[in-house]
Amino acid sequence: MRSLEYSTIKVRTLILIYSLLCFLTIIFSRNFFIETLDGNIPDRLHLIVFFTIPVVLLVVLGIFIFQVFADFFHRRPGSKFNIRLLTNFTIIVIFSITPATIMATTAINQIIIFWHNIDTPAGNSAANSFAAEYFSLHRERFYNIINNYNYTNPMPIEITSVQVFRLSATADKSAAGGQNETWTEISFTGNETFHLSSPPIHETGFPARELPRDHATIRYVHRSPNNIIHVFSYNLGDDFDRRKAAIENQIEHFERISDIRTNIRPLLIYYYVVFFLPTLLMTVIIAISLTRRITNPIVELTEAIQRVAAGNFSIQILTRRDDELGILIRSFNSMVQDLEKSREALVRSEKISIWQNMAQQLAHEIKNPLTPIKLSAERVLRRWRNDPENIGAIIESSMMAIIQETEGLSTLLNEFRTLSKPMEPSNSLTLLHEPVEELINTYTNSFPAVKFDIEHLQTNIMVKIDKNRLSQILTNLIINAIDAMNGSGLIELRTDLVKKREVCYCRISVKDSGKGIDKKENRLVFTPYFTTKESGTGLGLPIVERIVNDHNGTIWFDSAEGVGTTFYIDLPVELKENV
């Protein structure tokens, strides 16, 4: 019998795929959130790639569910138990995920509401205004200091450095005031951190701040009429640019939040479909496989018990399980082996009893014809002694009686010899319809009130048995059917192809419309010398059973009193094409 471990491999494979899917979910979900921080749904290519896994899993789950319900509607063993387990699993899953789903939905809704309540533009405007006001305040202060500064006085403490440049005497006069002017540093006072290699601009005013040159610094350039440039530097503080960068970074985040919140629901739906749905589908698929892993051993065990009940004691269930089901299956195998041994012992005992009964019955059957033979011989002898002249009047009848009884004994002994001697199975092939048609022609002429139905008799089947043996089988069954119908009725012959344990058989059925067999006599039908006929020997059906068994076939019957009897014979076959 096939092993029960095939479903375990599937479950292990599914669990491996599930683990890989979870790993990929962790990796890709992180990339997904990073890529979608701008609030946009991924492009079509990403949609195709991400939705491939859910679609494939949906197809696999659909196939699994179809198989489960197909088994249920076709009433296959274990299908109801599968449905019940899946129903219970579904209820447990629903009860488990409902609170978490409600909490997650509520939390997401609250987050969405919170995000929508954030006034991002106002926050951005306030931050920019704060930075601009701070910068403007210090710039105005710086400008006031410079306006009040007398170049002959010492440098004010608020000014970090003063650097003086003079236009070079070799500069091109035609380029005066242009970008090709050459300036030479003539003095520097203050912190060397704020030292410049050249003036930031060549005209009076505030130069645009450039980082990192003007880090935490405001500069002012004053150009005198004699082409002298004073560059004043004012320190805003080391944290000014860092804080300004932080404000700009937060403003950028706020802008992203503003973009994301408009698409938050589609993004969440997309996320659940791409990452959460596959794990849920895999969970259901694994659940279906696990239910089959549980129910398959039970189904196999049920089928095996049914086969044992039908008389098959050679069945064994293969399993490597170490759980309670494995112990149960091994106990069942051990029980079947014990039953087989007990059955074999019982069969041996029955065979001995049968042979004893056969010997007694044979002695009885032989003794019965000896009495009329003896009486006929004594009658001839007595007439010969007392009235030899008139012996001719009785000699013919007496001799005929002796001959008839002797032929009966010969037939009895021939049938007994056929039943008792070893029979070599024939390797020849016989086209089934040929002996059937010959027998039908014979009995149609002899019993015109008997009708034969061979509509379902296939003509291209060759059975592995000698033609004479097949004719002997069919002759016995047809004669018994005619006798059961008292010479009038319908006999149906039918053939069907069946497969048992990878071997193809032809199932021959002979059905009559007779009186049927008494239930009390069912177990005696194939017993030698059992007969309900007045002139029967009781060896016909036992011989048929012997021939069938010796050709690797089986024979049995179904009968209902008042309806009729059907005998079934399974013989190995070989199909013949174009017959």
Q: Where are the domains of the chain?
A: 6-117+263-309, 152-243, 324-420, 430-575
- The CATH class given to the 324-420 domain equals mainly alpha
Residue 569, beta-bridge partner list: 508, 555
Number of DSSP helices (H) and strands (E) in the chain, helices first: 12, 11
CA distance 452 to 443: 9
Q: Which residues 6+ apart lie within 8 Å of 417 measured at CB?
A: none
The SS3 assignment for 172 reads coil
Torsion of CA 468, 473, 477, 478, to 10 degrees: -20
Q: Looking at per-residue confidence, does 350 or 284 come out higher?
A: 284
Band of residue 3 on the pLDDT scale cut at 50, 70, 90 = very low
Q: What percent of the chain has pLDDT over 70?
A: 75
The answer to which of 363-372, 379-388, 511-520 has the lowest mean pLDDT is 363-372
Return the closest-CA partner of residue 233 out of 141, 156, 144, 162.
Answer: 162
The answer to which of 150-154, 285-289, 374-378 has the lowest mean pLDDT is 150-154
The answer to which of 61-65, 167-171, 193-197, 289-293 has the lowest mean pLDDT is 167-171
Look at residue 463 in the predicted model and tell me its pLDDT. 87
Q: Looking at per-residue confidence, does 177 or 216 come out higher?
A: 216
Look at residue 283 in the predicted model and tell me its pLDDT. 77
Look at residue 54 in the predicted model and tell me its pLDDT. 78
- pLDDT digits over 41-89, tens only? 566 666 666 677 778 778 888 888 888 888 788 777 777 877 887 888 8
Q: Which residue, chain included where needed, has tokens 């650097």? A: 163
The overall pTM is greater than 0.75: no
* Residue 450 contacts residue 488 (beta carbons within 8 Å): yes
Band of residue 5 on the pLDDT scale cut at 50, 70, 90 = very low
CA distance 431 to 573: 10
Over 60: is that where the pLDDT of 168 sits? yes
Band of residue 568 on the pLDDT scale cut at 50, 70, 90 = very high
Return the closest-CA partner of residue 209 out of 184, 240, 171, 188.
Answer: 240
The token pair at 464 is: 């592995």
Over 60: is that where the pLDDT of 174 sits? no
Over 80: is that where the pLDDT of 306 sits? no
Mean pLDDT of the region 468-493: 86
CA distance 484 to 493: 16
Q: Are strands 564-575 and 503-512 parallel, antiparallel or unpaired?
A: antiparallel
In the predicted model, what is the mean pLDDT of the chain? 76
Neighbours of 55 (CB within 10 A): 11
The answer to which of 161-165, 302-306, 466-470 has the lowest mean pLDDT is 302-306
What is the dotted CATH code of the domain comprising 430-575? 3.30.565.10
Look at residue 263 in the predicted model and tell me its pLDDT. 65
- pLDDT digits over 9-37, tens only? 456 666 677 677 667 666 666 665 555 55
Q: Which residue, chain included where needed, has tokens 């203050």? A: 190
The SS3 assignment for 538 reads coil
Residue 221, beta-bridge partner list: 205, 231
Over 60: is that where the pLDDT of 234 sits? yes
Over 80: is that where the pLDDT of 318 sits? no
The token pair at 445 is: 């002429």
CA distance 159 to 149: 10
Q: Which residue, chain included where needed, has tokens 């019957």? A: 557
**Which amino acid is residue 405, in one-letter code?**
E
Measured CA distances, 336 to 276, 310, 313, 347 (Å): 49, 13, 6, 16
How many residues in total does the chain contain?
A: 579
- pLDDT digits over 509-537, tens only? 999 988 888 887 777 787 776 677 666 66
Return the closest-CA partner of residue 556 out of 515, 520, 507.
Answer: 507
